[in-house]
Structure 1
Amino acid sequence: MQTLLVGLDAACFPVLRPLFEDGALPHLESLFDDGATGRLESQIPPWTASAWPSLYTGTNPGKHGVFDFLRFDGYDWDIVNATDVRQRTLWEYADAAGLTSVVVNAPVTSPPPDVDGAVVPGYLAAEDPDCHPDGILDDVREAVGDYRVYARRETDETAGDDRFEDYLELARMRGAAFRYLADRFGPEFGFVQFQKTDAVFHDYPGDHGKVRRIYRAVDEQIGAILDECDPDTVVVASDHGMGEYDGYEFRVNEFLREAGVVETTTGGQGVPSWFQIKDERLTGGAEQGASGHPVLERLAATAATVGLTYQRGKAVLERLGLAEFVGRHVPVGAVFAASDAVDFSASRAYLRSPSELGVRLNVEGRDPDGVVARDEYDRVREEVISLLSSATTPTGTPVFEEVVPREKYIDGPYAQEAVDVLAVPTDFQHGLSALVGEQFGEPEPWNHKRHGVIALAGEGVDSGADLSGAHLFDVASTVLATLDVAPATVMDGDPLAAVDAPDERSYPDYEAATQAATEDADVAERLSDLGYLE
């Protein structure tokens, strides 16, 4: 193996350094001590579903086409998948150069491409995803025992510590599957990604003992991979950082409603929500009317206005044995019949999804029922930028450190699919919400930060190189350099100073797969578990 890329979702120095200092992560610590290291600036928005494709294509979202966990078609939405990634991945560049790859658990890689080697998709794939080559998942399971993309859902049998033990088992599965496939295919390039280094903060906020155990489990697997695969060069990278949020949840659509930009409706057309998902899962389809339980309708409406989302309330409901009852008896129709939701078609602009980190204008001729005339686009966008720039917290501090046109961070052939205005929370201390109701609420206690980590160690690496200024977009071209493969001119990053790189070159136009629907309610419900759907 020439190059091993280890992906640690949400890893950052504030998390790693205390674990290094007490000797909890000997294998990772050795890579960081012996190699060139630095902070890795993430993109805007710094969220998993968009950031990992940026890392492994070397391009910004406007070029690869994934901006969020969701893809929007007009006002409708679906979960993104690999057909939404419309640039070459690292393993496709390697394949074109005659190299073999093994890729395990990389997010947004289902369905996988036909390359020399093996691809077992990760986050946002179905539990039994299509893998490459056909049948390889059965072989993995036969060789290493059970292999799953996700932890078991929380039930009476898998609650608390029992469910957390499954997180540790997932780390073992990743390492064992990667080692089996590496032995079988003998790849020049390997990529293994560990997701629970992020999820542990969402699911067990503030539980440093569980964070330590997850990272120790991952470190053990990295050590076993290093021993068995003996890669010439190792690259460790994360998609973003992680930290405490001590600010507010800012409900952008409520703020814009009060300014006359957002219109609301009780007709059921609104932002993706847990209520919709739970309704469809338990009743076989969203109800479009009152539930017949007026008391429950009032409770549902109150919950929506104060921001009682599924990830905040499910633990209480399940502890009381009420989750399924609420799902069956308070359908989405009841919630929206009793409370307002954003009316996409009537609004001039709105927040579609919090993790898009911005606002979409409803433009005539571009959006199905656009109300903003094209010759008014610049004026309305400047109005929205001015409004959001003026937003302050209850203590009088700015909500956003910058509110800018999307072009500052996003450009390329798919940029029109993105939000029109990007709004970056001050020091990432505040979370965004698409709910309407009270303007401020409590944020998720731990969430994404702007800076992750990068480390390069091994053959051909200048361990003393200065990696200050390293960016997420630099990872792909750096990895290609370690494989002696030329970076592509389309890439937005450059090879880091720690490695020598061939001159960049133009590649033939990429023939992207036809976009296909995900239509996997289980994946959507898992997103709601982590707080990515409200």
Structure 2
Amino acid sequence: MARTRALVVGLDCAAPHLVFGPYVRSMPHLARLMERGVHGPLRSSVPPITVPAWTCMFSGRDAGELGLYGFRNRVRGSYALTPVRGDDVREKRVWDSLGEAGLRVAPLFVPPSNPPPGVRGVSAGCFLLPKGARPWTFPPSVGERLEARFGAYENDMTVHGDHVEPESVRDALWRMSAQHFDMAADVWANDDPDLLAFVDIGVDRFQHVFFEHMDPTHPRHDPTSPWNAEGERYFAHLDRKLGELLEVVGADTHVFVVSDHGARPLQGSVRINQWLVDNGWLALKDRPAPNHAVTPEHIDWRNTRAWGEGGYYARVWLNVAGREPEGTIAPGDFERTRDALRRELLTIETPTTTAPHRILAPDECFRAARGVPPDLMVFFGNLALRSLGTLGAGEVFTTENDRGADACNHDWDGMFVAAGPKLTARGPFDGASLFDVGATLASIFDVTRPTGTLGQDWSQR
């Protein structure tokens, strides 16, 4: 019987309307995979953020079950937030199930992997590792081998700020993405995994800088800009690296090219804490410095009913007695107060979009809610707008991100292409979810997933 092997290429934030639209003409290797298999939009997790989305994809668990609501999460019994770590993931991912079945696996750069997880095979840490952290692979000898061949591991680059030089960003991201593809090819050839899954964060970083040049619907798009061709050039570069990798893995390997979420033009930001102050929900002891987030030390908790955290969406918590250290809302008033706050938030108007806000409570979108979930998750303009945790000079709306220039926000749909011996060539497909990736991989390898995992098996459709 022929050996079953699979490769998953993760392109963080790759947008289907670009990949399957104008860019596919410059991506012949991806186009051939599309012809051989199935492709389409891939519905992301709630929330559609790198953390938790990749973990949702490979575990079959929603963000609430994972207890991961973003890059930072509440500490129970405290107002503090703490950065997520790889060992915060308690649920099995598909490579864990494969390893238990005696197969070799290689999850590389898959967030969150800080530190790199111990697996039956090889793993490598992601962009959440501190720059220069060692060891960055499991086992450490693999990282030493890779760096001897490809240079120091480039796990990320900083692209936000007021003085980003586009040429240096472009060149650095080309190098970083190439290194990630080359390292994946080396691991495939030398460590012989049955499953290799890697994530390149480069697309996400590229789009946050260049999206106004990539999407003609962007409010800042200039049709005469010489930078408008850079997006297609970058994706053509990724496709060339994909072609090189496909030569290494061979024609009998199942290949998935996926993104965890998409991207859309950023049309501005809503200062959630400024709005809460203005509308009597949040009281301050003192104001933070300009462009600095409101932190627990700034808040007068005895006179506060709600506070928020910025990001791709707003996380809003009520200050509940018995749950928070200085709670003011009686537990019996929780639902009434939450519903009142939701109604008020829905009335926020912004000058750049009339798209309705999408506001969800944990029990409306999660099967369980571990950790300390937000009481309300607010997607302003249904992701047309970001949320900011900073205060303005009295204004709630701003055209910028509080971290500097930013061109895009996340979107609900990523993309997928899947082809291989056990997958039927059927072309475009709608209705896929990121949970389907793990389900299909488990089926391809004939491995039983943990009870209750989400996702549909594409090989059976």
Same fold (TM over 0.5): yes
Equivalent position amino acid for 1:462 in 2: T
Q: Which residue of 1 aligns with 2:368?
A: 412
Task: Identify if the C-alpha distance between structure 1 residues 483 and 81 changes in structure 2 by more than 3 Å, giving closer, same or farther.
Answer: same
Task: Identify if the C-alpha distance between structure 1 residues 145 and 394 changes in structure 2 by more than 3 Å, giving closer, same or farther.
Answer: closer
Task: Identify if the C-alpha distance between structure 1 residues 28 and 243 changes in structure 2 by more than 3 Å, giving closer, same or farther.
Answer: same
Q: Does 2:149 match 1:128? A: no
Q: Does 2:398 match 1:441? A: yes
Q: Which residue of 1 aligns with 2:314?
A: 357
Q: Which residue of 1 aligns with 2:222?
A: none
Q: Which residue of 1 aligns with 2:453?
A: 491
Q: For 2:130, what is the secondary structure of its paired residue? A: coil
Q: Could you tell me whether the CA contact under 8 Å between 1:399 and 1:430 is conserved in 2?
A: no
Q: Could you tell me whether the CA contact under 8 Å between 1:68 and 1:355 is conserved in 2?
A: no
Q: Which residue of 2 aligns with 1:370?
A: 327
Aligned length: 430
Q: For 2:129, what is the secondary structure of its paired residue? A: coil
Match of 1:235 among 234, 256, 259: 256
How much has 1:160 moved relative to structure 2? 4.0
Match of 2:376 among 409, 417, 421: 421
Q: Which residue of 2 aligns with 1:189?
A: 195
How much has 1:12 moved relative to structure 2? 2.2
Q: For 1:102, what is the secondary structure of its paired residue? A: strand
How much has 1:172 moved relative to structure 2? 1.4
Q: For 1:93, what is the secondary structure of its paired residue? A: helix
Match of 1:482 among 419, 444, 458: 444
- Encode CA deviations 1:165-210: one digit per residue, 9 max, x unaligned: 1211111111111111112211110112111111111123423333
Equivalent position amino acid for 2:347 in 1: S
Q: Distance in 2 between matches of 1:122 and 1:165?
A: 20
Q: Could you tell me whether the CA contact under 8 Å between 2:159 and 2:209 is conserved in 1?
A: no
Q: Could you tell me whether the CA contact under 8 Å between 2:379 and 2:385 is conserved in 1?
A: no
RMSD between aligned alpha carbons?
A: 2.7
Which sections of structure 1, spanning at least 5 residues, go unmatched? 269-300, 310-331, 502-534
Equivalent position amino acid for 1:168 in 2: W
Q: Which residue of 1 aligns with 2:284?
A: 264
Task: Identify if the C-alpha distance between structure 1 residues 395 and 229 changes in structure 2 by more than 3 Å, giving closer, same or farther.
Answer: closer
Q: Which residue of 1 aligns with 2:14?
A: 11
Q: For 2:341, what is the secondary structure of its paired residue? A: helix
Q: Distance in 1 between matches of 2:87 and 2:341?
A: 32
- Encode CA deviations 1:23-70: one digit per residue, 9 max, x unaligned: 311111211222111211112211112211111211111111211111
Q: Which residue of 2 aligns with 1:294?
A: none
Q: Does 2:54 match 1:84? A: no
Identical-residue share of aligned pairs (%): 23
How much has 1:465 moved relative to structure 2? 7.2
Q: Could you tell me whether the CA contact under 8 Å between 1:58 and 1:491 is conserved in 2?
A: yes
Q: For 2:212, what is the secondary structure of its paired residue? A: coil
- Encode CA deviations 1:103-161: one digit per residue, 9 max, x unaligned: 22212112122211111111212223432112321111113333221237899xx9542
Q: Distance in 2 between matches of 1:190 and 1:343?
A: 50
Equivalent position amino acid for 1:54 in 2: C
Q: Distance in 1 between matches of 2:157 and 2:427?
A: 39
Q: Could you tell me whether the CA contact under 8 Å between 1:262 and 1:349 is conserved in 2?
A: yes
Equivalent position amino acid for 1:265 in 2: K
Q: Does 2:30 match 1:28? A: yes
Q: Distance in 2 between matches of 1:31 and 1:118?
A: 26
How much has 1:413 moved relative to structure 2? 4.9
How much has 1:4 moved relative to structure 2? 0.8
Q: Which residue of 2 aligns with 1:166?
A: 172
Q: Could you tell me whether the CA contact under 8 Å between 1:53 and 1:66 is conserved in 2?
A: no
- Encode CA deviations 1:432-479: one digit per residue, 9 max, x unaligned: 222233111114432211111122111110122774221122221122
Q: Distance in 2 between matches of 1:345 and 1:123?
A: 39
TM-score normalised by length of structure 2 = 0.86
Aligned runs of 1:25-64 on 2, under 5 Å?
25-64=27-66
Match of 1:115 among 115, 119, 129: 119
Equivalent position amino acid for 2:368 in 1: G
**Larger deviation: 181-190 or 487-496?**
487-496
Equivalent position amino acid for 1:495 in 2: D
Q: Distance in 1 between matches of 2:354 and 2:113?
A: 40
Q: Distance in 1 between matches of 2:232 and 2:90?
A: 36
Q: Distance in 2 between matches of 1:136 and 1:162?
A: 29
Q: Distance in 1 between matches of 2:238 and 2:68?
A: 27
Aligned runs of 1:480-519 on 2, under 5 Å?
480-496=442-458, 499-500=459-460
Q: Distance in 1 between matches of 2:369 and 2:212?
A: 41
Q: For 1:162, what is the secondary structure of its paired residue? A: helix
Q: Distance in 2 between matches of 1:154 and 1:493?
A: 35
Q: Could you tell me whether the CA contact under 8 Å between 2:313 and 2:386 is conserved in 1?
A: no
Q: Could you tell me whether the CA contact under 8 Å between 1:63 and 1:86 is conserved in 2?
A: no
How much has 1:394 moved relative to structure 2? 4.2
Task: Identify if the C-alpha distance between structure 1 residues 345 and 79 changes in structure 2 by more than 3 Å, giving closer, same or farther.
Answer: farther
Q: Distance in 1 between matches of 2:390 and 2:146?
A: 43
Q: Which residue of 1 aligns with 2:273?
A: 253
How much has 1:354 moved relative to structure 2? 2.5
How much has 1:20 moved relative to structure 2? 4.1
Q: Could you tell me whether the CA contact under 8 Å between 2:294 and 2:389 is conserved in 1?
A: no
Q: Distance in 1 between matches of 2:418 and 2:160?
A: 37
Task: Identify if the C-alpha distance between structure 1 residues 170 and 342 changes in structure 2 by more than 3 Å, giving closer, same or farther.
Answer: same
Q: Distance in 2 between matches of 1:350 and 1:29?
A: 47
Q: Distance in 1 between matches of 2:302 and 2:201?
A: 36
How much has 1:399 moved relative to structure 2? 4.8
Q: For 1:192, what is the secondary structure of its paired residue? A: strand
Q: Could you tell me whether the CA contact under 8 Å between 1:263 and 1:347 is conserved in 2?
A: yes
- Encode CA deviations 1:314-362: one digit per residue, 9 max, x unaligned: xxxxxxxxxxxxxxxxxx7xx989xx95556642112123235331112
Q: Could you tell me whether the CA contact under 8 Å between 2:266 and 2:407 is conserved in 1?
A: yes
